[in-house]
Amino acid sequence: MWTFDAFPTQRMRSDFGWAPDQAWLDRARLAAVRLTGGCSASFVSAEGLILTNQHCVAECLSDLSTPGNDLLAKGYVATRRSDERQCPGQQAEIVTGIRDVTGQMKQAIGAATGEAAVKARTAAIATIEKATCPDTVTSRCQVVSLYGGGQYKLYSYRKYSDVRIAWAPEDAASKFGGDPDNYNFPRYALDGAFLRAYENGRPVATPQHLRWAAREPVAGEPVFVVGNPGSTQRMLTMSQFAYQREVNLPVTLAMQSELRGRLIEAMGVDAERKREATDVLYGVENNLKRTIGRVKALNDSGFYASLAAREAELKAKSAGNAAIGDPWSEVATAMAALGAIDTQRRFSQPEGELFDYALALVRAAQERAKPNADRLPGYSDSALPLLEKNLLDPKPIAPWLEQLTMRFSLSKAREYLGADHPQTRLLLGRESPEGLAERLVEGTRLADPAVRRALWNGGEAAIAGSADPMIVYARAVEANDRRLQKIYDEQVDGPLTAARAKLADARFAAYGDSVYPDATFSLRITYGKVGGWTENGAAVPHRTTFAGAFDRATGAEPFALAPAFLANKAKLKLEGAFDMAYATDTIGGNSGSPVIDRNLNVIGANFDRNIHGLRNDYAYDMTMARSIGVTTAALEQALRFIYPAPALLKELHAR
Amino acid sequence: MWTFDAFPTQRMRSDFGWAPDQAWLDRARLAAVRLTGGCSASFVSAEGLILTNQHCVAECLSDLSTPGNDLLAKGYVATRRSDERQCPGQQAEIVTGIRDVTGQMKQAIGAATGEAAVKARTAAIATIEKATCPDTVTSRCQVVSLYGGGQYKLYSYRKYSDVRIAWAPEDAASKFGGDPDNYNFPRYALDGAFLRAYENGRPVATPQHLRWAAREPVAGEPVFVVGNPGSTQRMLTMSQFAYQREVNLPVTLAMQSELRGRLIEAMGVDAERKREATDVLYGVENNLKRTIGRVKALNDSGFYASLAAREAELKAKSAGNAAIGDPWSEVATAMAALGAIDTQRRFSQPEGELFDYALALVRAAQERAKPNADRLPGYSDSALPLLEKNLLDPKPIAPWLEQLTMRFSLSKAREYLGADHPQTRLLLGRESPEGLAERLVEGTRLADPAVRRALWNGGEAAIAGSADPMIVYARAVEANDRRLQKIYDEQVDGPLTAARAKLADARFAAYGDSVYPDATFSLRITYGKVGGWTENGAAVPHRTTFAGAFDRATGAEPFALAPAFLANKAKLKLEGAFDMAYATDTIGGNSGSPVIDRNLNVIGANFDRNIHGLRNDYAYDMTMARSIGVTTAALEQALRFIYPAPALLKELHAR
């Protein structure tokens, strides 16, 4: 997960006999798209066409569906440009520049500690971002903290806030194998989709696109994955790993499992509910499986010992360096402080889209009244446009699902805080989680974008004067949240940031720049070879075929093949490649990333990693970990025979 | 948790200045009742009246309910004896003798190892039990393995297989505070109920009963809890604790959490479903909270270190003893063997009452055709009567709940084994968990007791000839289960039993008889003082009052007071005792145990322990751990004013 300004050319050249030059890297960077929904993607035509995963557009398809017209289930093929439909909340971003602002940031923070350091950092970020990207309509700036505060880089983006869906297969094709096959390989998921970036109502010109190459992947060939890995935790100290293993993950595991159970049964009531919650359940199950992988990793005593050995080595190498001091103890102290407030922080508010709207509206009204540098992170002038888009884009709300999410999260707050905790009393009063959720969801009008817009435009006066029960409730819980944040900044974030900067220095001193920073949902590039691995003595091949999908199908969910597959089987080249595996270092957020060959051809869209990849959240080990992508060869067959889109095919092959 | 044949008279006398004599102990033992549903109880009148917890009769109340007549919710007061109604599957058992059969058992096992040792043990137990209790109508014999195989004791029971419900409060009174207050104190749960033992259609004469004393508990007074603690794991070695912490508990936590979520939402669909599943959910939530406590305990690094120190001490004390050898390594080897098959064992069959019926019928047909000594445990002549009762007693089955349980457990089997595991294929074929569960539950006729009786009576021929889909399915999965059991016996149970016997010897050599055996749902006695504890510097009082219940009530579930409490508030002595805390060593299975004062008066019914008691699954530490009981004083007020039962009151006070 190298940053684009620190690609290890020498290392790759010595390992692979070849490495990309700066022109290659610039082209790949300019073709790489970040989707603000949490995915990656790439331009694959000169007319703004974007390749990503179906699971990255599933929420869009769900939002565009209506009773009786389930676009997620049926898939979507826009036969004409005018049929391409805007995805709520979706924005495409292309990195146009990276600048080191570490000196500026460290100067701004100076000798401040605790909350003061956090505030100084926030203010400096807001100021730098605003100064660099005054035009917030077409650009966005973001200061990214790397190595947990060891480096600060300013990323400038060209942004396109009108992104439309052009093509997606049936959900049964993309999610074939469902949760059982998730994080597994061999795999038969057609997890690809196309979006298009628009500006001023017209497709964007994107001459810097990747070349579409619908060819078979070759075992052993080098490939690159370019995208935005979300988050890794490889630089944690042992006190942080212990906290994960002993405190945090068990709670997460129980919560996600119960929510999954609640969703499955509540969705089972009727087809409409299933339509409304399918993509939500997908997200919950995906997160849960990742949590289970993390729990397994940290409970593997050999793996845990290797983490301890890694830390011991760094300590030993740093022993003579007085400037480093003992950041490990500082982290442990901060973690103890976190332990005292973590349950309160986790359960400081209910979950739900309507509540999120309410809280954002309440917060934004307060924050926007302040100078840019004094605001909470997320409310600076550079952050407001995307917040506003997410708040005001129309999208459907399912009241039953909102109630479920709220009553669930409120019941968990009571469970983990205890019925008598002051925060439980603040959240529930004398109501039950079920009763409160029902009252707020039935009473609020925030599902209407016009109501949200009026409150957004009305600012503090509108919020103060609102009798909407969700706004009233958000006003009541917001102050407690702010109080907890203050403690967190002072006792946890401030000290941790200072300690992490020292740890980063220790690593640079010990290992130079051979270790890249933890993932931060900013642009990275990783490379490796196409190939399977050896599992219990048996070789797992590097790719699957359409024939394999038909073999695996049982007719019963989630192993029922999509109807269009069955209907068009005769047309397919059954021995053609379907999904593929390759040894790159990817993680959530890399979904949709282009898999690129050395000639800047896109030969696949990354959508998953195998089960062995799950421990890579904590440590880099590519012995058995593999990334998984859908091949362009498979998408080409789909575009040609299964979900025909001749115009798209023509566009993809235009030279 | 002392056994009745090894009460520590000297120790108690030196600590308390008094200890019970043999007559006292005999009387307490003969008044103590084991309920085969998994609870404890006691005779409290000369006419077979049994005091236990409401949560121990909740399943009975649920089974006796019908659409529109929810006896669990409404409570049950039999105004006349003829209104007392039989509880399905419930049997009362009184220990009439305890005999050491260690020599006989060890001789029978001899030098056998592995599966042969397990088979020899099973055969010897079946033979001893049958020889000692030829009359299986009024008696039952059970060889109990203590210290994991270090001792074998033959327990003889007088049994009463006709147990009827006489009195129970509203569920809202018993479960006031619900899951949030479970394992907590102060507490306001009226968790008491009365059953009556019958024989030949008439109440049983029980002159050996405890005396009802509806008096206030006194802080500092010694009390005894007599009952059947279900299971503790204090004698595990570190490799076993590690297995619990790292492998077993995370899966249990995820499973129970998801099942809870599924139940909550599926029950929410309508009032009938709520009625049918309330007690099931109670059980799931109670188990989950216990699991969460265990996870916390074993993830507490200080606590875990104390377990390691305990083991290190025993190893050091045993170092010179060649007869002990290294049982710790033998356990570790067995645990590694368990690791290889544990997931298969856990998921060898679906869950559900109808499937359990089918499997028991299939198994029983095979086993009953064999000589007594050759059968699987649970199918010996001494075990068959209770099995038959549980199989054939009529009780309602809720098809939606059966389907939910089956599809859930089958989906977990697929999740943890993997979609391609041979056992997943055996369990699912080409069906989905949902489809299979629906087909089997809709197609089976096993909900009808007459159908079960015909299959029971018909034996192997009837089973082989049955086309009932659940029987057909059980036949298919039974052989795999047997295969796994064989591996388990050979590689795990056999070696573990041998190793545990050596560990028991090591403990006896090091600590004499000062350590009682792990709980085995056999009769035990524990003593301690009435009293609260200190929590975060504040004293938790030893008892609560009715006034406290009214203060705590919010009107919203689960803190809504029961209607009869609200209606009769004016009659109550509000400062009277409600629940109480005392420092005895109890655990699940002790529910319903009488809390007895030194004069053999019953002053309460044990129903819970506080949150600090949860780690006592693994180690004995009474610093903050307390047991929780409902006082007889509270039950007396309830019998008088809230759920009036004048005949019962008269009976309780008869001298």
ipTM entry: 0.96
CA-angle at A229, arms to A228 and A231, nearest 5°: 130
Task: Write down the pLDDT at residue A137.
Answer: 94
Contact A430 B254 (CB under 8 A): no
pLDDT band at residue B292 under the 50/70/90 scheme: very high
Query: CB–CB of A235/A148 below 8 Å?
Result: yes
Contacts of A398 (CB under 8 A, 6+ apart): A273, A276, A277
Residues A185-207 pLDDT 10s: 999 999 999 999 999 999 999 99
Q: Quote the pLDDT of residue A138.
A: 96
Contact: B180, A419; criterion CB under 8 Å:
yes
CB-based contact, B404 to chain A, within 8 Å? yes
Q: Token pair for residue B470?
A: 């659940």
Q: Does B481 lie at the interface with A, CB-CB under 8 angstroms? A: no
Task: Please give the structure tokens belonging to residue A544.
Answer: 């699957």
Predicted confidence (pLDDT) per residue in B590-630, tens digit: 999 999 999 999 999 999 999 999 999 999 999 999 999 99
* CB neighbours of residue B513 within 10 Å: 10
Flag if A245 and B435 touch (Cβ within 8 Å).
no
Burial track B236-255 (b if 16+ CB lie within 10 A, e otherwise): bbbbbbbbbbbbbbbbbbbb
Does B540 contact A at CB distance below 8 Å? no
Instruction: Judge: B299–A245 Cβ closer than 8 Å, yes or no.
Output: yes
pLDDT of residue A63: 97
For an interface test with A, the pick among B184, B188, B251, B264 (most A C-beta atoms closer than 10 Å) comes out as: B264
How many contacts, defined by CB atoms under 8 Å, are there between A and B?
A: 119
Is the pLDDT score of A513 beyond 90? no
Residue A418 has pLDDT above 90, yes or no: yes
Interface of B with A in 181-210 (CB under 8 A): 181, 184
Chain-chain contact of B257 with A262 (C-beta, under 8 angstroms):
no
Q: Which of A246, A252, A298, A403 to mutate to test the interface with B (most CBs of B within 10 A)?
A: A246
Q: Which of B180, B257, B430 sits opposite A414 (nearest CB)?
A: B180
Nearest residue, CB atoms, B258 vs list A246, A250, A257: A257
Q: Mind telling me how many Å the CA of A204 is from chain B's nearest CA?
A: 44
Query: In the Cβ-directed half-sphere of A461, how many Cα atoms lie within 13 Å?
Result: 2
Residues A99-110: tens digit of each pLDDT: 999 999 999 999
Per-residue pLDDT, averaged over B67-79, amounts to 96
pLDDT digits over B563-586, tens only? 999 999 999 999 999 999 999 999
Which pLDDT does position B149 carry in this prediction?
87
CB spacing of B255 vs A257 below 8 angstroms: yes
pLDDT tops 90 at residue B652: yes
Mean pLDDT of chain A: 97
Asked if the Cβ–Cβ distance from B265 to A262 is below 8 Å, we say yes
Calculate ∠ Cα B443-B446-B449, nearest 5°: 150
Contact B164, B74 (CB under 8 A): no
Interface with B, mutate which of A183, A258, A431 (most B CBs under 10 A): A258
Closest CA to A212 of A396, A50, A91, A96: A50
Contact residues on chain B for A265, CB-CB shorter than 8 A:
261-263, 265-266, 404
Question: Rounded to an integer, what distance in angstroms lies between the CA atom of residue B19 and that of residue B11?
Answer: 9
B245-257 mean pLDDT: 97
> What mean pLDDT is predicted for residues A149-173?
97
Cβ–Cβ under 8 Å, residues B613 and B239: no
pLDDT tens figures, B528-543:
999 999 998 999 999 9
Give residue A514's pLDDT band: very low, low, confident or very high (50, 70, 90).
Answer: confident
| Amino acid (one-letter) located at B595 | V
> Does residue A355 carry a pLDDT above 90?
yes
Residue A395, SS3 per DSSP: coil
Q: What is the C-alpha to C-alpha distance for residues B632 and B213, in angstroms, rounded to an integer? A: 7
- Residue B325 — left, alpha, or beta (φ > 0 → left; ψ -120 to 50 → alpha)? left
Q: Do A559 and B419 touch (CB under 8 A)?
A: yes
Residue B1 confidence (pLDDT) above 90:
yes
- The verdict on pTM exceeding 0.90 is yes
Of residues A484, A336, A355, A350, the one with CA closest to residue A428: A350
Q: Express each pLDDT in B294-313 by its tens digit.
A: 999 999 999 999 999 999 99
A611: nearest CA partner in chain B: B418
- For domain A2-8+21-91+161-233+517-653, which CATH number applies: 3.40.50.280, 3.40.640.10, 3.40.605.10, 2.40.10.120? 2.40.10.120
| Residue A434 touches partner B, C-beta closer than 8 Å | yes
Nearest chain A Cα distance for residue B340, angstroms: 13
A290 Rama class: left (phi>0) / alpha (psi -120 to 50) / beta: alpha
CB A145 within 8 A of CB A520: yes
Q: Which of B175, B238, B244, B262 to mutate to test the interface with A (most CBs of A within 10 A)?
A: B262
**Interchain pair B432, A557: CB under 8 A:** yes
Q: Which residue of B has its CA nearest to A400?
A: B265
Distance CA A12, CA A18 (A): 7
What is the residue-wise DSSP string for B406-468? HHHHHHHHHHHH-TTSHHHHHHHTTS-HHHHHHHHHHH--TTSHHHHHHHHHHHHHHHHH---
The structural domains of chain B, with segments of one domain joined by +, span: 19-91+161-218+532-576+633-653
Cβ-defined contacts of B325-329 (< 8 Å, 24+): B325/B502, B327/B237, B327/B498, B327/B499, B327/B500, B327/B502, B327/B503, B327/B506, B328/B237, B328/B238, B328/B239, B328/B499, B328/B503
Q: Does A178 touch chain B (CB under 8 A)?
A: no
User: Which residue, A567, A572, A548, is CA-closest to A641?
Assistant: A572
Q: Do A258 and B261 touch (CB under 8 A)?
A: yes
pLDDT tier at A320, thresholds 50, 70, 90: confident
**pLDDT at residue A515 tops 90:** no
Cα A617 to Cα A263, A585, B247, B599, B644, distances in angstroms: 27, 10, 19, 62, 62
Chain A contact for B401 (CB, 8 A cutoff) = no
Q: How many CB atoms lie within 10 A of CB B534?
A: 10
pLDDT digits (tens, 9 = 90+) for A597-610: 999 999 999 999 99
Residues from chain A that touch B555, judged by Cβ atoms under 8 A, are 430
Confidence of residue B514 (pLDDT cuts 50, 70, 90): confident
Question: What integer is the mean pLDDT of A445-464?
Answer: 98
